[in-house]
Amino acid sequence: MDKIDRKILDHIQRNGRDSYAKIGESVGLSVSAINDRIKRLVATGAIRHWSAVVDPAIAGRTLLAYVSVQLERPEHDKGFVAAVAGLGAVQECHHVTGDWSYLLKIRVADTAALERLIVDWIKTLPGVVRTQTVIALSSTKETHVLQCSA
């Protein structure tokens, strides 16, 4: 991946619906060159997928929480990860260092929905020993954009 590829990635993360002509104009390439580069970036996995960024409030998911989960033994990891992958409210699942096994980013409608998710689903998964939940009161910065160029 070269400097121009990184500029293309920066551009399309912020303006994914721009035409190839507009992307090309911003990085100094023709439409056909942009088309070729984007196809290559998709084929190599640099671009995982295309999507829209939805406002959580409009979607009715105003509560943002981070849940740390401790598993009893590493043998439970695979089952836990598979189960969490099926929970739509879990936006992210990270295997972490320290006292916890996993850190989950969760978006739900309200505290009642969060309680149901934790009590009825997460804490019932095999190997879950304990959880700790932190609720975000507000967010001053939240982005999906990964800075690719320096």
Q: Which residues pair with 131 in a beta bridge?
A: 69
Is the sign of the CA dihedral 87, 91, 97, 99 positive or negative? negative
- The yes-or-no verdict on residue 144 having pLDDT over 90 is no
- The yes-or-no verdict on residue 149 having pLDDT over 80 is no
pLDDT in tens, 104-120: 999 999 999 999 999 99
Residue 60 contacts residue 37 (beta carbons within 8 Å): no
**What single letter denotes the amino acid at residue 116?**
R
Calpha distance 101→70 (Å, rounded): 5
Torsion angle, CA of 85/86/92/98, rounded to 10 degrees?
A: -60
Residue with tokens 């189960």: 83
Dig out the tokens for 40 from the structure.
Answer: 């290559």
CA angle 84, 86, 88 (to 5 degrees): 95
pLDDT band at 4 (very low <50, low <70, confident <90, very high): very high
pLDDT in tens, 46-76: 999 998 889 999 999 999 999 999 999 999 9
